[in-house]
């Protein structure tokens, strides 16, 4: 009976060891399961965070595309303005030349008016002398016509 007890004791110990291993495995599995749940939660949170960041990135990409479009539009406007400025500068140069030409013509006309005024003044100054000559000629003609 002693042998039987020892055999049973050995069997009990073997089963205890098996049970201990199984319990240990179960604890490990529980720990693994808890770790898995934590990782899963972390993954979901990270995934949500990633999704939000991706949405933000998409918004920013859309904003960047809009900004690039706006920049291109402004670059076209700047080129148009630069072209308009160049055209205006050309027009200003042409108008300045026209004004200079007109100023020169005005000066020429002022000189001519001065010359004519001087001639007129000279004629007015000679007026009595010319009148006397005319009267003398008229008299000569009238006297010369009379028999």
Say how many Å lie between the first and final Cα of the chain, rounded. 207
How far apart are the C-alpha atoms of 62 and 3, rounded to whole Å?
85
Name the band, by pLDDT with cuts 50, 70 and 90, for residue 146.
Answer: low
pLDDT tens by residue, 33-73: 888 888 888 889 988 988 888 888 888 887 888 888 999 99
Q: How many CA atoms lie within 13 A of 17 on its CB side?
A: 5
Q: Is the pTM of this model over 0.85?
A: no
């Amino acid at each position: 009976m002693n042998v039987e007890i020892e055999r049973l004791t050995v069997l009990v110990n073997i089963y205890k060891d098996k049970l201990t291993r199984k319990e240990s495995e179960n604890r490990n599995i529980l720990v693994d399961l808890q770790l898995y749940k934590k990782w899963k939660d972390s993954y979901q949170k990270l995934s949500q965070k990633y999704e939000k960041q991706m949405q933000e990135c998409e918004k920013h990409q859309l904003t960047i595309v809009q900004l690039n479009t706006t920049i291109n539009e402004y670059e076209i406007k700047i080129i148009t303005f630069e072209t308009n400025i160049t055209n205006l500068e050309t027009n200003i140069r042409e108008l300045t030349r026209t004004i200079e030409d007109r100023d020169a013509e005005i000066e020429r006309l002022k000189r001519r008016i001065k010359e004519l005024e001087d001639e007129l003044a000279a004629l007015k100054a000679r007026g009595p002398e010319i009148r006397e000559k005319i009267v003398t000629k008229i008299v000569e003609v009238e006297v010369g016509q009379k028999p």
